[in-house]
Amino acid sequence: MSAPTMCGGCSASRPVTAEIQDIADKVKPQLEEKENRKFCTFKATEYKSQVVAGMNYFIKVQVGDDDYIHIRVYESLPHENKPLALHGYQTNKTKKDELAYF
């Protein structure tokens, strides 16, 4: 059983599920537009979540051999019926870089 997530705090880093990969894939076009580049590789490798008025997902995504990007995705509450939004990202990361709040 995993430890409970404190409201407002980030969860521990967890392995990616199919749902998390799907979330990353849905915001990939937003990231490609902001970075003005296409990503042939886009594999989520770990994530953290944060309960807010909705949910923040911090996802480490492999985009090259040892080239990673950390993305922050906001998922609104279900009744708001809004699409997933890329709320931030950090480039020039490696596999060893800790996934942290940003």
Q: Specify the CATH number for the domain of residue 39.
A: 3.10.450
- The number of domains in the chain is 1
Q: Note whether residue 3 is domain-resident.
A: no
Beta-strand pair 68-75/85-93: antiparallel
pLDDT given for residue 1 in this prediction? 43
pLDDT of res. 8: 65
DSSP states of the chain as a string? Answer: -PPPPPTTSBPPPEE--HHHHHHHHHHHHHHHHHHTS--S--EEEEEEEEEESEEEEEEEEE-SSS-EEEEEEEE--GGG----EEEEEEEEE-TTS-----
The whole domain housing 81 covers 14-93
Residue 34 lies in a domain: yes
Q: Please say if the pLDDT value at position 3 is more than 60.
A: no
Residue 83 lies in a domain: yes
pTM for the predicted model, two decimal places: 0.87
